Amino acid sequence: MKLIFEKSYQGRGNHIFPSLDVEVGIPESAMRNRKNHLPEISENEIVRHYTELAKRAHGVNTGFYPLGSCTMKHNPKVSERVASNPKFVNIHPLQPIETTEGCREVLKRTEEYLCEITGMDAMTFQPAAGAHGEFTGMLLIKAYHKKKENYDKTEIIVPDSAHGTNPASAVMAGFEIVNIKSDKNGMVDLKELEEKISEKTAGIMLTNPNTVGLFDNNILKITQMVHDAGGLCYYDGANLNAVMGIVRPGDVGFDVTHLNIHKTFSTPHGGGGPGSGPCGCKEFLRQFLPGIRETKNGYEMETETIGNVTGYYGNFLVVVKALAYLLSIGSDGVSLSAKNAVLNANYMMHKLKDIYDVAYDRTCMHEFVLTLEKLKEDTGVSALDISKALLDYGIHPPTMYFPLIVHEALMIEPTETESKEVLNEAILAFRKIYEDALKNPDKALKAPISTPVGRLDEVQAARKPVLRYEFES
Ligand SMILES: *Cc1c(COP(=O)(O)O)cnc(C)c1O
């Protein structure tokens, strides 16, 4: 496929507006001093160009997308429709407060619902992504210890199964990381936790279900141990899709949490946003929350706020989508969606585990992890090769080589929004690929064969990306 610049024909023109006929006094220093290099191509061809590109990209609207830890679920179009209402779109955060009553109501109601779902008492919508929510949460924990003059509390405990953003956020907030291992069942190793907890412990960051898709049965014990040492407990809510409406982080000992609205609450993601990672907390941390909030005295910053973590109220329209989603599925829908996410993952796992090795052979939550270590030893076909072969079946690969504690990992998250028929087709594809790999490993190493490009040099693509077109003049 040609680039749009290669399709351009000099002299064709690219404007629909008449040329400027007024003086606009732009200073000479701000004027462009070379050609602007816009492609010259007809509107018709532009539309075809982008349609062609869109056809080559895989998305939830194109096919099955079981990318573990990402919750690539169907995002109901009604949420988009509500969020594109001009009354929500054409609003400005600096408008007089009395003219934004509806939008403030959206924020308030969504905060109320999400607090009810998480068992938190207050929530800020400022953070623009999950990782940003983690960072905000870490700053709340920091502010808390500072206020209590707990100057020795410098460490955050993070299990080795954690998402990479967890230690990164804690470090950015100025903490040191103490890693703890998972036991052979994929749970936090309680003995090691006990050894690592000390007077330096400022808190723990935990995902439950964790990133191997398992619910940690010791959760009450873990949060109690951290609290007993004077630390706080942070809940990474990225996996809430498995437990929403069933278990509330606030009820099992967590003090702070973030949610990924773009995972759990119906905003499409991938490609960089916009996202929203609201950060919720218990009452005793409310005074540290960022941003302007509705307080007893009207709209203002909280008394001991950590400041702003982004502009104004965060990605407001993403919050509108979350509210539209919650109102459209209702409170029964929230827990039903979690149950179906778990059911779908278990269904797929059980239909695959006679040929694939499951990393932890027990009932999983919303996702499960396969390990292809043995297949690789026997045939040379790796988790990467299986993922590539899936492309020939129109399936987006699962998450690969994560979590790091499982070798040759494939992490599959079907989500609640896929039907049994779609799952059955995917199961057949996974099985066929495995059988083919055993019979003819060389062929598996060459997949995919039906996509516009085959195996890419991924290292070069990451290290030396070519992101601009080099013009001759
Ligand atoms: C996705 C994810 C995050 C980070 O969220 P972003 O919105 O991508 O910043 C954190 N933890 C877990 C477990 C996740 O799956």
Q: Quick one: angle between helices 420-439 and 383-391, nearest 10?
A: 120
Atom of ligand 1 nearest to the CA of 165: 10
* CA nearest ligand 1 atom 15, residue: 69
Q: Residues 315-342: what's their mean pLDDT?
A: 97
Cα angle value 114/120/123 (rounded, 5°):
60
176 has pLDDT over 70: yes
pLDDT digit string, tens, across residues 121-159: 999 999 999 999 999 999 999 999 999 999 999 999 999
Quote the pLDDT of residue 259: 98
pLDDT band at 473 (very low <50, low <70, confident <90, very high): low
Q: What Rg do the C-alpha atoms of the chain give, in angstroms?
A: 25
Quote the pLDDT of residue 209: 95
20 has pLDDT over 90: no
Q: What are 107's two structure tokens? A: 């924020």
Quote the pLDDT of residue 84: 97
Is the minimum distance from the CB of 207 to ligand 1 under 6 angstroms? yes
pLDDT digit string, tens, across residues 356-402: 999 999 999 999 999 999 999 999 999 999 999 999 999 999 999 98
243 alpha carbon – ligand 1 mean position (Å): 16
Quote the pLDDT of residue 377: 96
Atom of ligand 1 nearest to the CA of 239: 13
Judge whether 429 and 386 are in contact, CB under 8 Å: no
Is the minimum distance from the CB of 130 to ligand 1 under 6 angstroms? yes
Is the minimum distance from the CB of 236 to ligand 1 under 6 angstroms? yes
Half-sphere exposure of 101 (CA within 13 A, CB side): 2
340 alpha carbon – ligand 1 mean position (Å): 21
Place of tokens 């690539």: 72
Would you call 470 helix, strand, or coil by DSSP? coil
69 alpha carbon – ligand 1 mean position (Å): 7
DSSP string, 258-295: EE-HHHHSS---SSS------EEE-GGGGGG--SEEEE
* CA nearest ligand 1 atom 6, residue: 130
Judge whether 385 and 231 are in contact, CB under 8 Å: no
pLDDT band at 291 (very low <50, low <70, confident <90, very high): very high
- The DSSP bridge pattern shows strands 122-124 and 279-281 to be antiparallel
Place of tokens 């062929």: 443
**What mean pLDDT, rounded, does the chain reach?**
94
291 alpha carbon – ligand 1 mean position (Å): 22
To test the pocket of ligand 1, the residue of 69, 165, 262, 412 to mutate (highest count of ligand atoms within 8 Å of its CB) is 165
Helices (H), 9-85: 43-56, 77-83
Residue ranges and CATH numbers for the domains of the chain are: 4-22+36-55 (no CATH), 77-325 (3.40.640.10), 332-461 (3.90.1150.10)
Judge whether 258 and 236 are in contact, CB under 8 Å: yes
Instruction: Name the residue with higher pLDDT: 177 or 13.
Output: 177
Would you call 442 helix, strand, or coil by DSSP? helix
pTM for this predicted structure: 0.92
To test the pocket of ligand 1, the residue of 215, 263, 369 to mutate (highest count of ligand atoms within 8 Å of its CB) is 263
Quote the pLDDT of residue 296: 78
Q: Residues 50-67: what's their mean pLDDT?
A: 92
pLDDT band at 188 (very low <50, low <70, confident <90, very high): very high
Quote the pLDDT of residue 297: 80
CA-nearest of 441, 434, 439 to 387 is 434
Is the minimum distance from the CB of 211 to ligand 1 under 6 angstroms? yes
The residue type of 295 is T
Is the minimum distance from the CB of 275 to ligand 1 under 6 angstroms? yes
74 alpha carbon – ligand 1 mean position (Å): 18
Quote the pLDDT of residue 469: 87
10 has pLDDT over 90: no
- Cβ-Cβ contacts under 8 Å for 35 (sequence gap 6 or more): 473
450 has pLDDT over 80: yes
Strand stretches in 97-162, DSSP E: 122-124, 155-159
50 has pLDDT over 90: yes
Strand stretches in 318-415, DSSP E: 357-358, 368-371, 399-400, 409-412
Is the minimum distance from the CB of 69 to ligand 1 under 6 angstroms? yes
* CA nearest ligand 1 atom 8, residue: 130
The residue type of 397 is P
Is the minimum distance from the CB of 161 to ligand 1 under 6 angstroms? no
> What is the percentage of the chain residues whose pLDDT exceeds 90?
82
> What is the percentage of the chain residues whose pLDDT exceeds 70?
99
Judge whether 205 and 134 are in contact, CB under 8 Å: yes
DSSP-assigned beta bridge partners for residue 258:
236, 279
Q: Residues 320-328: what's their mean pLDDT?
A: 98
Quote the pLDDT of residue 438: 95
Could you say which DSSP state residue 18 is in? P
Is the minimum distance from the CB of 277 to ligand 1 under 6 angstroms? yes
pLDDT digit string, tens, across residues 459-471: 999 999 988 888 8
Is the minimum distance from the CB of 403 to ligand 1 under 6 angstroms? no
Tell me the residue length of the chain.
473
271 has pLDDT over 90: no
